[in-house]
Amino acid sequence: MPTILTAKQVAENALKTIGAFPNTQTQADAGDLRTTLMWLEMILNTFSGYRPVASMWRTIDIPVEEGIGDYLLSDYDDDAGTQHVFSVSMVDQMGNVDPLEIVYESKALEENLVNVSTPSRAMATRTVDPVLRVFPAPAAQHVQAGKVFRVRIQTFHTKIESQGNGDTELLLRPSWYLWLTKKLSYEIGGGPVRRLPDYELKRFEMDADKLENLLLSRDGKGSSPSPPVTEPMAGS
């Protein structure tokens, strides 16, 4: 088994890398550690915003409600919240699955919100507290059949606190620890903890970018499809 690092250990490694936690000290400065853990969480949440991360995948079931097309995802997901919705299906008690088409947020504006029938399309709002919207809204027979919306999501990383879960394992494969240490060193070395010379920051940035490209080229093979975007890309 590889060494499994906690959030606190990665943060301490980054502090050592920028010279803010010398070997002569037995523990990092409490304020520096809190700041570093905050930046660590932000990096991971940005990372999960553009890349599928298997350890942050969840499947949640939402009971259908007659005539209701909007469902607040925070009522059904966990403390990490919802970053992306990968897929939505309507599933009956026999396990029969009817996939719904994922549509863009702008396309959802064209939908008839009062139409009640068999849901065939869905989207998730890109808000702090995302809402799953299905079109058309479910009818009475779907409720009577005990159907649920089965939603595959990617979460954010759970909140990291220096007092509490800072000592728990990160939701990240060990192959990414070095990248995360370099990336974190770059971020906290740019002012939040220390103000390093530009040439040192550039080295951390280049190291992190190189590691990310190498790891993505390998870890990306055979991974789940990327999360849906909310708007078509320019020129598409």
Which of 128, 154, 180 is at the close of a domain? 154
Residue 5 has a pLDDT of 94
pLDDT at 168: 79
Helix (H), strand (E) at residue 183: helix 177-188
Whether 147 and 191 map to the same domain: the answer is: no
99 and 25, same domain (yes or no) = no
148 and 96 inside one domain: yes
Q: Is the pLDDT of residue 222 over 80?
A: no
Rounded-to-integer distance, Cα 86 and Cα 130, Å: 14
Question: What sign does the dihedral 93-98-99-104 (CA atoms) show?
Answer: negative
Model confidence pLDDT, tens digit, residues 125-145 = 989 999 999 999 999 999 999
CA distance 89 to 47: 26
Q: In total, how many domains does the chain have?
A: 2
pLDDT at 50 over 70: yes
Task: For residues 23 and 78, state if they share a domain.
Answer: no
Strand order in the sheet with 84-91: 57-63, 148-154, 84-91, 97-102, 121-124, 131-135, 70-72
Asked if 162 and 40 touch (Cβ cutoff 8 Å), the reply is no
Q: Is the pLDDT of residue 224 over 90?
A: no
**Residue 204 belongs to some domain of the structure:** yes
Shared domain for 99 and 72, answered yes or no, is yes
Q: Which of 139, 143, 98 is nearest to 115 (CA)?
A: 139
Instruction: Give the domain extent around 185.
Output: 7-53+172-219
Of the pLDDT bands very low, low, confident and very high (cuts 50, 70, 90), residue 221 is low
Tell whether 179 is covered by a domain.
yes
User: pLDDT tens digits for 98-134?
Assistant: 999 999 888 888 888 889 999 999 999 989 999 999 9
Q: What is the pLDDT of residue 211?
A: 95
Please tell me the number of Cα atoms within 13 Å of 136 on its side-chain side: 12
| Residue 27 sits in the same domain as residue 88 | no
Whether 180 is covered by a domain: the verdict is yes
User: pLDDT at residue 178 above 90?
Assistant: yes
pLDDT grade, residue 220 (50/70/90)? low
Residue 229 within a domain? no
